[in-house]
Structure 1
Amino acid sequence: MTKSNDKSKRTIAMNRTFKAPIKLVWEAWTNPKHIAKWWGPKGMETKVIKHEFKVGGTWKYTMQMPNGKDFITEGVYSEIIEFEKIVSSADFKPMTEGVELEIIFKDLGDTTDFTFNVIHPSEEYCKQQEAMGIYNGWGATFDRHILYLADNK
């Protein structure tokens, strides 16, 4: 796979508007106590193994798949701007490796605009991930996030 310099061709972007103030949305994304309650598809329990929320800090979460094996998600934070942006490397073993997550928050008062970019190393890999159903997987996770926010206002 050749690496494309055109970031737009390597990025899958998902947008949501959460009916919650930015402070709550940010807390749900940055506090491991909250992350464990909504991260991942419905029906899968998430265990936060490590969560160092700082530039250079690492994170690692596991979820048990129906076949009994662990699905491991992990990465390293490279940029954090409080209430605005989080950037991290990310591996979702065994499905996706070597991507970057760029999470952008925009304060709209009682609601929060949210942009979630998954940046792949190549255009080909991006297309492959799209065909595998990345929108459905993350969509289910964001649905859990929405419910979690509603329950914790």
Structure 2
Amino acid sequence: MADDGQTNEDQRALMLSRLIPVPRAALYRCWTDPALITRWFTPAPWKTVEAELDVRAGGRSRIVMESPDGDRFPSEGLYLEVVENEKLVFTDAFTAAWQPSNKAFMVGIITFADEAGGTRYTATVRHWNAEDRKTHEEMGFHEGWGKATDQLAALAATLGG
């Protein structure tokens, strides 16, 4: 097998990073307030129609997305790490009370760091294997997460710090 310079982690991860001209507290708030996450989380014309967030390590999350055709797609998981205004780590590998999900797909790592008067926002999604990574990329990870990040930045800009 040829060495392409990538680690197994690289081959299983997708990432989006942007410098957003708002305080990190505003971005964090958009990620952790159910009333706000429903306003930006799903790239239009999709919608986020429900959000239950227990933002603490071991806390449950449940987000329901709705397609333009009205089909609903629930996503459940747990927070693994929460550092206010700095980092959120969550997974769909578990549901409430550390019960394994039917199929683990990803771990999401969202970081917020001060940079150039704004926030360096980085979303890293690690998958269990390269096939799941490829599937997520083909589902439109870069376009979808990019649009959602645009919506996140616009909403956060209205909140201040």
Q: TM-score, normalised by structure 2?
A: 0.81
What does residue 144 of structure 1 align with? 151
Match of 1:32 in 2: 34
Residue 136 of structure 2 corresponds to residue 135 of structure 1: no
Comparing 80-89 with 102-111, greater Cα deviation is found at 102-111
* In 2, Cα distance between equivalents of 1:68 and 1:33: 20
Does the 8 A contact of 1:10 with 1:120 survive in 2? yes
**Counterpart residue type for residue 28 of structure 2:** W
| Matching residue of 1:55 | 57
Contact 2:49–2:66 (CA<8 Å) still a contact in 1?
no
Q: Distance in 2 between matches of 1:53 and 1:84?
A: 13
Structure-1 separation of matches of 2:141 and 2:88: 20
Q: Gapped runs of 5+ residues in structure 2? A: 1-6, 94-102
Structure 1 residues 109 and 11: alpha-carbon distance in aligned structure 2, compared to 1, 3 A threshold:
same
- Cα 1:49–1:114 shift into 2, 3 Å: closer
Match of 1:124, as an amino acid?
Answer: E
Quote the residue 1:73 is aligned against. Answer: 75
Give 1:136 deviation, angstroms: 0.8
Residues of 2 paired with 1:45 and 1:66: CA distance? 8
CA distance in 2 between partners of 1:25 and 1:99 (Å): 22
Contact 1:21 1:109 in 2 (8 A): no
2:47 to 38, 45, 48: 45
The one-letter amino acid of 2:148's match is: T
User: 2-side partners of 1:61 and 1:111: how far apart?
Assistant: 28
Partners of 1:79 and 1:150 in 2: CA distance:
25
CA shift at 1:109, angstroms? 6.6
Correspondence 1:9 to 2:19: no
* CA deviation map 1:35-67 (0-9, x unaligned): 121110123332334211111111111122122
Letter in 2 for 1:90: D
Shift of 1:124: 2.1
Alignment root-mean-square deviation, CA: 2.0
Question: Displaced runs of 4+ in structure 1, greater than 4 A?
Answer: none
Higher-Rg member (1/2): 2
> 1:117: how far off?
0.6
- Normalising by structure 1, report the TM-score: 0.85
